A = this chain, B = another copy of it.
Amino acid sequence: MLRRYLPVLDWGRSYDRHALSNDLIAAVIVTIMLIPQSLAYALLAGLPPEAGIYASIVPILLYSVFGTSRSLAVGPVAVVSLLTATAVGQVAAQGTAGYAVAALTLALLSGGFLVILGLFRLGFLANFLSHPVIAGFITASGLLIAASQLKHILGIPAEGHTLFEILASLAGHLSEINLPTVLLGVGATGFLFWVRKGLKPLLIRLGLGPRLAHVIAKAGPVAAVIVTTVLVSQLQLDREGVAIVGAVPQSLPPFTLPDLSLDLVRQLWLPAVLISIIGFVESMSVAQTLAAKKRQRIGPDQELIGLGMANIGAAFTGGYPVTGGFARSVVNFDAGAETPAAGAFTALGLAVAAVALTPLVFFLPKATLAATIIVAVLSLVDLSTLKKTWSYSRSDFAAVSATIVLTLGLGVEIGVASGVLLSVLLHLYKTSRPHVAEVGLVPGTQHFRNIDRHAVETDPHLLSLRVDESLYFVNARFLEDLILDRVTDGCQIRHVVLLFSAVNDLDYSALESLEAINARLRDMDISLHLSEVKGPVMDKLQTGSLLASLNGEVFLSHYCAWQRLASPVPLPPAGA
């Protein structure tokens, strides 16, 4: 019982020197990568830079106790930072104390919600976000985030929650562009794009192993941070209008209290739910990808508890909502992390950085941080989903394109909500008109196939229909109409047999529809039979009254029904 809720008891037992050294190496690499990333995401969330570092320390410690993934690195991520900025921006102004406190409240609500979902094993709710909706949302968020960071690259102010608002606001301030900022920002962006595309192949050509080359290439932002910081401090570019990070307190994460006033909770609970679910989905997909490579297992409900505890930790230590991040987890995995202890060591490293290294980032230009964000999020933008869904299924294409357009045009919250709603409605629409095939016997076999696709034997007195969908209220009437239409067309029909091999469930509406079909067919002197009814469906039918009143039989196989009921017109003899 205790081990179920504390996975640390599982892996902690067998922890040895070998795992320790691997975890330590991974932790050093991840720490170096996380320092600029944490500062950058705090900037994106509209919070002071130290909030990003604080959000990486206690949450990662708590996750290493409660989480089930061996490789997941928990902390601030791009999409959740954007969602935080949107949600908190609606209740407080950036830079005020109320803003930071509302971010704590958001983290607490989100963490509490995740823990509750985990305790009640409600993780399946996250499945309502379909893959196309997630893909569309991530793509649109990436574009929104990149656009929102342009202001730091250009050195001008800009506001807005939709692509149009942001671009219009930027355009209105274009005359105020700060040249040194642009040079630093564009330079850093270009460098980071090169690091991402060109450095790894270069290092491999220079003789490094591909895994090491990959890890070093991930440290590119650190180089950009060092070079631009030195440039700004030496050339005193801050006096030329280059925005810098400035003084960051040298401190361990402080103890903070979220504001739980009713009014604030009422405004933030819905964004908190959204952040929780999106964060959980993102985190689970990373964790599962990495776990599968080592044949390990992720417990979705325990993951909810792990991520929830991490967020609750963030709420009490000056952070903001966190989740398992893609980039940092992959680096952690590639650098050889074996257990969640690597996360704990990373937390230690970041704590040291928070105390000792923060004065070094005084002259770090915000443009560099914006550049790291832009390069990171543009890699999330993937328009290929549009093309793939277009060729695979129009309804999935509708969901992904609606999500992209509405996220860009009306903001992240409306975008993702519309995507979910649309995919549910399209699914219901599809199942509302199930495929029903009239089948006949393939000569010489006991198989029945669609009469429109195959040469099969039929009997004018016997109508065999294969129902290719579970029957429930949305399609119950459809079947009723279809059968009644079909039998009023064919005046010779004396038996209708429904082949139920693909009917996996039958709700009360469908039961009543079948009873109505049965009664109406009886009025027409036609009997209704069922064949190949599955065990669970048969169990249900036996509790209802249909079987007692059925004007026909239930056959084990469709061939049994055919043998009993059909007197087929024989196919003409060959050569006749």
A540 contacts the other chain (Cβ, under 8 Å)? yes
Specify which of A133, A434, A509 lies most central, judged by the most chain B CB atoms within 10 Å of its CB: A509
A478 contacts the other chain (Cβ, under 8 Å)? yes
Chain A binding surface SS class: helix
The B-contacting residues of A in range 527-555, CB under 8 angstroms, are: 534-536, 540, 543-545
Determine which of B130, B288, B535 lies in contact with A473 in the assembled complex, contact meaning CB atoms within 8 Å: B130
Q: Across the interface, name the chain B residue whose C-beta is closest to A428.
A: B424
- In the complex, the answer to whether A435 meets B509 with C-beta atoms within 8 Å is no
Complex CA gap A388/B512 in Å reads 11
A423 contacts the other chain (Cβ, under 8 Å)? yes
The B-contacting residues of A in range 408-437, CB under 8 angstroms, are: 423-424, 427-435
Complex CA gap A424/B477 in Å reads 16
Complex CA gap A132/B133 in Å reads 32
- In the complex, the answer to whether A523 meets B292 with C-beta atoms within 8 Å is yes
A50 contacts the other chain (Cβ, under 8 Å)? no
The B-contacting residues of A in range 429-463, CB under 8 angstroms, are: 429-435, 450, 453
Q: Across the interface, name the chain B residue whose C-beta is closest to A536.
A: B435
Residues of B within 8 A of A470 (CB): 431, 469-470
Q: Across the interface, name the chain B residue whose C-beta is closest to A130.
A: B473
A392 contacts the other chain (Cβ, under 8 Å)? yes
Specify which of A429, A470, A476, A511 lies most central, judged by the most chain B CB atoms within 10 Å of its CB: A470
A393 contacts the other chain (Cβ, under 8 Å)? yes
The proximity string for A residues 124-137 relative to B, scoring 1 for CB distances below 8 Å and 0 otherwise, is: 10111111110000
Residues of B within 8 A of A469 (CB): 470, 504
A520 contacts the other chain (Cβ, under 8 Å)? yes
- In the complex, the answer to whether B131 meets A512 with C-beta atoms within 8 Å is yes
Residues of B within 8 A of A431 (CB): 470, 505
Determine which of B131, B472, B473 lies in contact with A509 in the assembled complex, contact meaning CB atoms within 8 Å: B131
A179 contacts the other chain (Cβ, under 8 Å)? no
The B-contacting residues of A in range 356-372, CB under 8 angstroms, are: none
A92 to chain B, nearest CB (A): 33
- In the complex, the answer to whether A484 meets B392 with C-beta atoms within 8 Å is no
Determine which of B131, B508, B534 lies in contact with A476 in the assembled complex, contact meaning CB atoms within 8 Å: B131
The B-contacting residues of A in range 257-309, CB under 8 angstroms, are: 284, 288-289, 292-293, 295-297, 300
Complex CA gap A233/B284 in Å reads 80
Determine which of B300, B393, B523 lies in contact with A507 in the assembled complex, contact meaning CB atoms within 8 Å: B393
A499 to chain B, nearest CB (A): 12
The answer to whether A423 and B131 touch (CB under 8 A), given A392-B543, A435-B504, A508-B393, is no
A501 contacts the other chain (Cβ, under 8 Å)? yes
- In the complex, the answer to whether A505 meets B430 with C-beta atoms within 8 Å is yes
- In the complex, the answer to whether B131 meets A484 with C-beta atoms within 8 Å is no
Q: A127-B478, A501-B501 are in contact. List 4 more A-B contacts (CB 8 A).
A: A124-B474, A127-B432, A391-B543, A393-B508
